[in-house]
Amino acid sequence: MPITDFLKQNAEKWPNDVALVEINPENQESASTWKEYDLVQTKPHVGYRREITWLDFEYQSNRFANLLTVKGIKKGDKVAILMMNCLEWLPIYFGVLKSGAIAVPLNYRYTADEIKYCLELAECTKLIFGPEFTGRVEQIFGTVPKVNEYIYVGADCPTFATDYHTIYPMCSKKEPGIEIKDEDYGAIYFSSGTTGFPKAILHDHAGLVSAAKLEQSHHGQQKDDVFLCIPPLYHTGAKFHWMGSLVVGSKGVLLKGVKPKWIIDTVSREKCTIVWLLVPWAQDIMDSIDSGEIKLDEYELSQWRLMHIGAQPVPKSLIKRWKGFFPNHEYDTNYGLSESLGPGCVHLGIGNIHKVGAIGIPGDGWKCKIVNENNEIVKQGDVGELCVQGKGVMKCYFNDPDATSQALIDGWLHTGDMARQDEDGFYYLVDRKKDVIITGGENTYPVQIEDFLRQNNEIKDVAVIGIPDERLGEIIAAVIELKPGSTCTEEDINNFCLGMPRYKRPRKIIFADVPRNPTGKIEKPLLRKMYAGENLVEQQTQR
């Protein structure tokens, strides 16, 4: 069955039940009461609270699928989605799938050049985008040969785009009638290789379904559960955690913002039972409780049963502190990659809180092994590369057979992460084979930052590494070797870095020699040992 069948079933079983809620706290001041919201889809992003039922969800997806079909989209075509979380995001995603096309979600932090690169690599023919991206999309308009239409979701449609809210309501709400099989391709997600350039990761519908069922199995979602989704939906983690709710027809809440009071208020008002957090958000919530900004007795939180974390290292001290505030909460963490359709190929498990620090055991239906450089299984306790096998493993890196052959060997996905297994069968990440830095749950690629910094004429050499940070997991540090006689200062470097997106800017500047080995490669393990305490870190992460 395709993943879209769950949506159809929910619309038939529970047509009038709420499927999705969008909460936009920044608009709360303009609402006369908390319950004021706008459901008129011709006025997007208006009001504090919007919602749709399962039948609304199904109809909107069908209409968009029929729109794409009328516009020439055929089975196997690629349609990119570049939007912030909103009520329209998931109906559009499912509309793409119902048309038989392949959905291609894009990272909202991409620059114009990165958007263009991904559109070209995935061979997309249409781009759906929101108002936050008008400037970036306008920069590349007309420069991507295969993209023949830009569809805009929001108010004040730019002249170069088609207005989604004007055209989609005119399309039929009936099923488009396109047969979708398990082996048909459903989605392309972007990740990174060791060079830092995004790879297009191709998945089929059988993989999408397996990931949705896996989430429901791990966290036991029932019809009366309410899942609070805060992370971006372009990410496999956020989307497939929500898909556990899709499987059972329970409500999902999209919160547009991460302020601690907004999170706690939404949990209380919407009666959320499951919340997925990143480390910084959990830290901020506890700090706000300690400061008195949040008074827990003012909220209804008794229904909140599960807090789980992924996407970056989780300090043991954080969970101990969290349980002090919320002693009745169940806790879980997940390890995954976009190549494994996000969370769950390894997961701690709700009953294993005594093993916090481990990434866990193989998820339902998954297998794991640790191998050496000769692809031989290592002895238990020894460090090697973590490999996983399951239905959620990607089909390939689209348009990159060389990278595919390196990552997929004999049906096993080689993760690039170094790990060990303890005597109880729990896996621990020891290091990342790749140099990706995970800061605030987002992958950041050192090569891109190094290339930018090398444009500064004062810099002789540079290496970018991650340094452990209690709140963000890691922060970006740049080790800079200046040219002889240079008087460049830290302030000068910071000003130069204003030319990069904020999330890529180094938080720490270190003026020092950059060590290289005899072949000319930067010795990053040595730098991490010097500046990041690498030998002390046993990390857990989801990419």
DSSP-derived 3-state class of residue 298: helix
Residue 66: CB atoms within 10 Å: 23
**pLDDT tens-digit readout, 152-186:** 999 999 999 999 999 988 999 999 999 999 999 99
Residue in this structure with the two tokens 């990552």, named with its chain if needed:
407
Instruction: Indicate where the chain has its CATH 3.40.50.12780 domain(s).
Output: 4-257
User: What confidence score (pLDDT) does residue 39 get?
Assistant: 38
For residue 203, how far is the Cα from the chain centroid? Answer: 16
Instruction: Count Cα atoms within 13 angstroms, Cβ side, for 303.
Output: 17
Instruction: Indicate where the chain has its CATH 3.30.300.30 domain(s).
Output: 437-536
Closest CA relative to residue 417, chosen from 386, 372, 390, 441: 386
| DSSP label at residue 154 | S
CA distances for 429 relative to 153, 232, 280, 385, 442, angstroms? 41, 25, 20, 9, 18
Residue ranges of the chain with per-residue pLDDT less than 70: 28-47, 192-196, 311-313, 431-434, 517-521, 534-543
**pLDDT tens-digit readout, 9-32:** 999 999 999 999 999 998 765 444
Residue 218: CB atoms within 10 Å: 22
Give the span between the Cα atoms of 472 and 478, in whole angstroms.
Answer: 17
CA distances for 406 relative to 369, 375, 434, 515, angstroms? 17, 12, 13, 28
User: What confidence score (pLDDT) does residue 318 get?
Assistant: 83
Question: Going edge to edge, which strands form the sheet with 459-469?
Answer: 459-469, 473-482, 508-511
Q: Which CATH architecture group holds 437-536?
A: 2-Layer Sandwich (3.30)
Name residue 370's amino acid: I
User: What confidence score (pLDDT) does residue 1 get?
Assistant: 87
Instruction: Count Cα atoms within 13 angstroms, Cβ side, for 160.
Output: 16
User: Where are the extended beta strands (E) located within 297-451?
Assistant: 306-309, 330-337, 342-347, 361-362, 367-371, 384-389, 396-397, 408-409, 412-421, 427-432, 437-439, 442-444
Helix 89-98 crosses helix 4-13 at what angle (to 10 degrees)? 110
- Reading the block at residue 376, the tokens are 């031989």
User: What confidence score (pLDDT) does residue 536 get?
Assistant: 36
Q: Which CATH architecture group holds 329-432?
A: Roll (2.30)
Q: Which CATH architecture group holds 4-257?
A: 3-Layer(aba) Sandwich (3.40)
User: What confidence score (pLDDT) does residue 541 get?
Assistant: 34
Q: What is the largest CA-CA distance in the chain?
A: 74
Instruction: Indicate where the chain has its CATH 2.30.38.10 domain(s).
Output: 329-432
